[in-house]
Amino acid sequence: MTSGKTTLVVLDMAGTTVADDGLVEQAFTAAVRELGVAPGTARHTEQLAYVRATMGESKISVFRHLFAGDEGAARRANAAFESAYGRLVADGRCEPVLGAREAVEQLRDQGRAVVLTTGFARVTQDAILAALGWTDLAGLALCPADAGGRGRPYPDMVLTALLRTRAADDVRQVAVAGDTSYDMRSGTRAGAGVVAGVLTGAHDEATLLAAGATHVLGSVAELPGLLARAEAGR
């Protein structure tokens, strides 16, 4: 239950407002290939399963797990991942989720601050925003480095959004939306009043609900209506 009007909306990018279309997995495969992990091998299959299970987490954290004990390898893999994803964006492979831009505009028209968040590095986030023409769409865009280095499932980016925007007086006035269990955990740990899962990305309804989703929507396009109805008492 929210405490009054939802005044701050924190939206995930890949899978929620930006169509993923397998780009994360493609960039991951390109990255680990550079470190000698070939597609089709047992190690690649095992690592890819972990990537799928932890969609939404800070990518450097994912690589630190996959290359446990070898910080240098984790950093090389992360740099290769960001480079590969950037190339896919530059090749025109980056598209918005249908209705996402309009949803952000509606949320802003409703008087809500909107912040876009990602598990990618700043350079990749900026490349995505530029490719979509979204540089000025939201009031703020955050990556894990902006919140002290910890990404999801920690609440840090949500709480940093609140502190930076000063758009809410109570964490219950915050809504979080994302496509992964890590987005849901981040929102619930931050105390957000609305934690909405969307079905346009990595995880299904059961997974999102198990991770704490208060609502599950077909897409982020439904979020402005959900918040408006909640505030109208319907």
pLDDT (tens digit, 0 to 9) for every residue of the chain, 234 residues total? 445 799 999 999 989 999 977 888 888 888 888 888 888 899 899 988 888 888 777 788 888 888 887 899 888 988 888 888 888 888 888 899 999 999 999 999 999 999 999 988 888 899 899 999 999 999 899 999 999 888 889 999 999 999 999 999 999 999 999 999 999 999 999 999 999 999 998 889 999 999 999 999 999 999 999 999 988 875
169 membership: H or E segment, kind and range: none
Average confidence score pLDDT of the chain? 91
Q: What's the CA gap between 201 and 178, in Å, rounded?
A: 8
What three-state secondary structure class fits 162?
A: helix
The residues near 54 (Cβ < 8 Å, ≥ 6 apart) are: 62, 65, 182
Backbone angles phi, psi at 133, to 5 degrees: 70, 30
- CA distance readout (Å), 49 to 10, 28, 85, 212: 27, 11, 19, 22
